[in-house]
Amino acid sequence: MQLVIAGLPVLLVGVFLRHWRLALIACVVIAMHLSWFSNAFPAVSNGESFRHLVTVTSVNVVSENVQHDRVIADLIEANPDVIAVLELTPMLDQKLRQDLPADSHVMSRAENSGDFGVGVYSKYSLADAEYADAEYLESVEAIDSIAVTVVVEQVRGNEEKFRLFVTHPLPPMNGDLFEKRNRHLEDVADRIHSFCEQASAIPVVLLGDLNLTPWSPWFLEF
């Protein structure tokens, strides 16, 4: 992404100055990275094959953010069926439970310190929640993760449901954190693949702040 952004003005300068070698180099650099953008615009299903259209969203509220009313106002306006909240604090958790009565099904683990809180607020029933324990977080060095089943409908013993994975890797601010983020993404992918092997009929949804862009090579591998 950064190379494409930098390459465009270089290309324009090269053309304007008729410095064709510079323009050619800029074109090559841009062309080499344009393919990554195809993953930023994935195909979207028209939903005709589904009995229910379920809307989901995730928000990283930033644990230091105390403008809870603005966060809640945005969520009410968006009105999703399932909300994943990252960097959740106990104060915000309590306010979300009070101010989002329609999202009465909640699985959350709020933290007073650091950026480790996570919660799921849903209009539909939640079941089989799995929180990342301290040993897991230390092994992959992640901020937090949760997996939960969202039960959309129960009719005559049959359930329409999907498995929701919510995760938050560390930001790649330096080389060490870059490697830790990548290891965490690999672990999440392994856990999703493992779940799909055991329950292939249940759809999977991944939400979170992945700390990478859709055109990142690591996103392609993930």
Of the candidates 167, 49, 179, the residue with the CA atom closest to the CA atom of residue 115: 167
- Residues 114, 213, single domain; the answer is yes
- Residues 125, 24, single domain; the answer is no
Instruction: Check whether 2 has a pLDDT greater than 80.
Output: no
How many domains does the structure of the chain reveal? 2
CA distance 207 to 60: 11
pLDDT for the residue numbered 183: 87
pLDDT average, residue stretch 175-196: 89
State which residues form the domain around 95: 44-221
Distance, CA of 147 to chain centre: 13
Helical residues (DSSP H) of the chain, grouped into ranges: 2-16, 20-34, 68-78, 90-99, 134-140, 175-198, 217-221
- Residues 77, 113, single domain; the answer is yes
- Residues 35, 97, single domain; the answer is no
**Average pLDDT, whole number, for the chain?**
82
- Residues 82, 131, single domain; the answer is yes
pLDDT for the residue numbered 144: 67
CATH of the domain at 64: 3.60.10.10
Instruction: Check whether 3 has a pLDDT greater than 90.
Output: no
Q: What is the SS3 assignment for 163?
A: strand
- Residues 184, 74, single domain; the answer is yes
pLDDT average, residue stretch 201-208: 91
pLDDT for the residue numbered 9: 82
User: pTM higher than 0.85 for the full model?
Assistant: no
- Residues 11, 58, single domain; the answer is no
- Residues 34, 53, single domain; the answer is no
25 vs 3, more confident: 25
pLDDT for the residue numbered 141: 58
pLDDT digit string, tens, across residues 125-175: 999 888 766 565 566 555 667 888 898 876 566 778 999 999 888 888 888
pLDDT for the residue numbered 187: 87
pLDDT for the residue numbered 58: 94
- Residues 148, 119, single domain; the answer is yes
125 vs 10, more confident: 125
- Residues 24, 113, single domain; the answer is no
pLDDT digit string, tens, across residues 60-73: 998 888 899 999 99
Contact 100, 122 (CB under 8 A): no
Instruction: Check whether 95 has a pLDDT greater than 80.
Output: yes
- Residues 142, 54, single domain; the answer is yes
pLDDT average, residue stretch 98-124: 86
- Residues 49, 21, single domain; the answer is no
